[in-house]
Amino acid sequence: MSNDFQFIEVGRVDPIKHEAKKRATQFIEIYQPYTQPEVKQQADRCLDCGNPYCEWKCPLHNYIPNWLKLAEEGRIMEAADLVHETNTLPEICGRVCPQDRLCEGACTLNDDFGAVTIGSVEKYITDTAISQGWRPDMTKVTPRTERVAIIGAGPAGLGCADVLARNGVQAVVYDKYPQIGGLLTYGIPSFKLDKEVMATRRSVLEGMGIKFKLGITVGKDVSFQSLLDEYDSVFLGMGTYTAMKAKLPNEEAQGVIQALPYLVGNTHHIMGTQDDATPYLSLEGKNVVVLGGGDTAMDCLRTAVRQGAKSVTCAYRRDEANMPGSRREVKNAREEGVNFLFNRQPVAIKAENGHVVGIECVETKMGEADASGRQRAEIIAGSEQVLATDALIIAFGFQASPASWFSEFGIETNEWGLVKANKTDDNPFQTTNAKVFAGGDMVRGSDLVVTAIAEGRDAALGILNYLN
């Protein structure tokens, strides 16, 4: 039976992490799963407040208090049904959402008692139910004749395919990679998200009737025109992949490394696959400096630690409070041995004989907030210093990478190259070509898994409107 005062009697307890020393050498998920008694205790901490701020703050507006209650009562299959009503990839969001900035950050208990461990319970419900044979109930779905092509098997494309399939529309997902998941498979390292998790989800999605055509680049192996001819509508969920340059002298020096190819190469290495475009690079024995403060930077730092780098340092131009990434991942990185240097703005890459030897930084202090709400970094004159390094990773984020063929088909982009999509309730996420919809990073700019899923799902509703 649930206890109204559980939150006073039982504190927040996160799942146990593998010991930092051990995990710093392994590419395996660092959190151990909850047990059923732990889930019961933690889920019962939910106050079921009348106005669940957690639900509002979750970009998918998940029915959080309701499935926490089902989990507390041990009704895992029902909880899984409810979790999937609003989320296509709940086991993945439970693992990688920055909950401290989303659902858990908005939990009424957050400040004084410690937020309910919403993400970890979501992960438990989904992992447990799937391992016990849970599959979406498709028996009430009436098949329709329409077919929709989806370009991109990342979270946006999968979110769209899920909602279409549940509405009887045949979804056919194209991706240039041999596995589904987009950045979930090739970008996010396996110590945050084991690659088996995505493989299991693929079998669930295929069981719903979703078809995958992998290893096919649209615009190269098949033309966009042929998809327009063959399908009733097309969804674009192609992500953003143009790495932001540091724009510093000597950026082309050897030992200056772009973050995403480095991570993708490492993932291929772990998966036992290979892609010539992203060769494996080991930083064993190197003094590594990573520039940037987001999720990608954290992933690079922790990958370098696991590869056996001699020292690993993060140089970030703002302070810790103004970092864009998840607080949880900063804490994990620190535990694993990463050094953080805050308020350091890079100004020049130092190179000798064509190879990086250091990064010159100036110190900064925090000023007024900018448009994003974060405080600006103001340079302190005369504070230059050089950090010695023999591997410098640039993790400054990504800009849009619009396909060259968009304009030929009347798909307009904005001044930053992001695809223009309708944000109103009328055919949401329809592009300037009425038959084409788009969502995820390629529309909103590089962001989060959960926002990409949300946009893919909303776009599917737009497509259903359009088809009707």
| Binder among 62, 431, 446, 451 for ligand SF4 (CB under 6 A) | 62
Helix (H) or strand (E) holding 392: strand 391-394
Binding characters for ligand SF4, 69-108, by CB under 6 A (x = yes): ------------------x-----xx--x-x--xx-----
Smallest distance, Å, CB 304 to ligand FAD?
13
Q: Are 453 and 158 in contact (CB under 8 A)?
A: yes
Interface with ligand FAD includes 176 (CB under 6 A)?
A: yes
Q: Which stretch binds ligand FAD (CB under 6 A): 215-223, 281-289, 304-312, 341-349?
A: 215-223
Q: CA neighbours within 13 Å on the CB side: how many for 456?
A: 37
* β-pairing verdict for 287-291 and 391-394: parallel
Interface with ligand FAD includes 164 (CB under 6 A)?
A: no
Interface with ligand FAD includes 79 (CB under 6 A)?
A: no
User: 374: which residues sit within 8 A by CB, 6+ positions away?
Assistant: 318, 322, 324
Binding characters for ligand FAD, 229-258, by CB under 6 A (x = yes): --------xxx-------------------
Q: Which does 238 bind (CB under 5 to 8 A by kind): ligand FAD, ligand SF4, none?
A: ligand FAD
In whole angstroms, give the CA distance from residue 326 to residue 1.
Answer: 34
In whole angstroms, give the CA distance from residue 88 to residue 119.
Answer: 14
Q: Which CB atom, from 166 or from 286, has the smaller least distance to ligand SF4?
A: 166
Interface with ligand FAD includes 263 (CB under 6 A)?
A: yes
Q: Are 63 and 456 in contact (CB under 8 A)?
A: no
For CA atoms 430, 435, 439, 445, the dihedral sign is negative
Q: Which does 447 bind (CB under 5 to 8 A by kind): ligand SF4, ligand FAD, none?
A: ligand FAD
| Binder among 15, 90, 182, 265 for ligand FAD (CB under 6 A) | 182
Smallest distance, Å, CB 355 to ligand FAD?
25
- What are residue 303's phi and psi, to 5 degrees? -70, -45
Helix (H) or strand (E) holding 195: helix 195-207
Interface with ligand FAD includes 150 (CB under 6 A)?
A: no
15 vs 153, 256, 457, CA distance in Å? Answer: 30, 37, 30
What one-character-per-residue DSSP string does 310-341 give? Answer: SEEEEE-SS-GGG-SS-HHHHHHHHHTT-EEE
Footprint of ligand FAD on this chain (CB under 6 A)?
Answer: 96-97, 151-157, 174-177, 182-184, 187-188, 192, 217-219, 237-239, 260, 263, 295-296, 299, 440-441, 446-450, 452
Q: Contact positions toward ligand SF4, by CB under 6 A?
A: 58, 60, 62, 64, 87, 93-94, 97, 99, 102-103, 118-119, 122, 450
